[in-house]
Amino acid sequence: QVQLVESGGGWVQAGGSLRLSCTDSGRTFGRYAMGWFRQAPGKEREFVAAITRNSGSSTYADSVKGRFTISRDNVKNTVYLQMNSLKPEDTAVYYCAAVLGLLTMRPDDYNYWGQGTQVTVSS
């Protein structure tokens, strides 16, 4: 069973940085590729970044490429999202998710989701 809990959200001024964490309290974290998604008010959930089980590969949405970095620590059962050069349009609830399979950007492919953490970027 995978149980995901996000942390690290908050308020930051444009140009600032935040690091989100997502920890799995289960014992099978290393079997899952992990992704980060976000959802702004009135908008659909969108893909942000994803990483393979062994950190061998990662992929990013064009809107965050070069500013965000996804990483994971399979000993700590945690996936991270380092967010730099934040913009007001990055404001959203950020969710981590786990998929038993290949890297994917489609939310419907993911098997487990966290509860989300709010990120607010002011101009």
User: Per-residue pLDDT tens for 12-63?
Assistant: 999 999 999 999 998 899 999 999 999 999 999 999 999 999 998 999 999 9
* Mean predicted confidence (pLDDT) in 69-79: 97
Predicted local distance difference test score (pLDDT) of residue 45: 97
- State how beta strands 68-73 and 78-83 pair: antiparallel
Helix (H), strand (E), coil (C) string for the chain: CCCEEEECCEEEECCCCEEEEEEECCCCHHHCEEEEEEECCCCCCEEEEEECCCCCCEEECCCCCCCEEEEEECCCCEEEEEECCCCHHHCEEEEEEEECCCCCCCHHHCCEECCCEEEEEEC
Reported as a pLDDT band with limits 50, 70 and 90, residue 112 is very high
Predicted local distance difference test score (pLDDT) of residue 32: 96
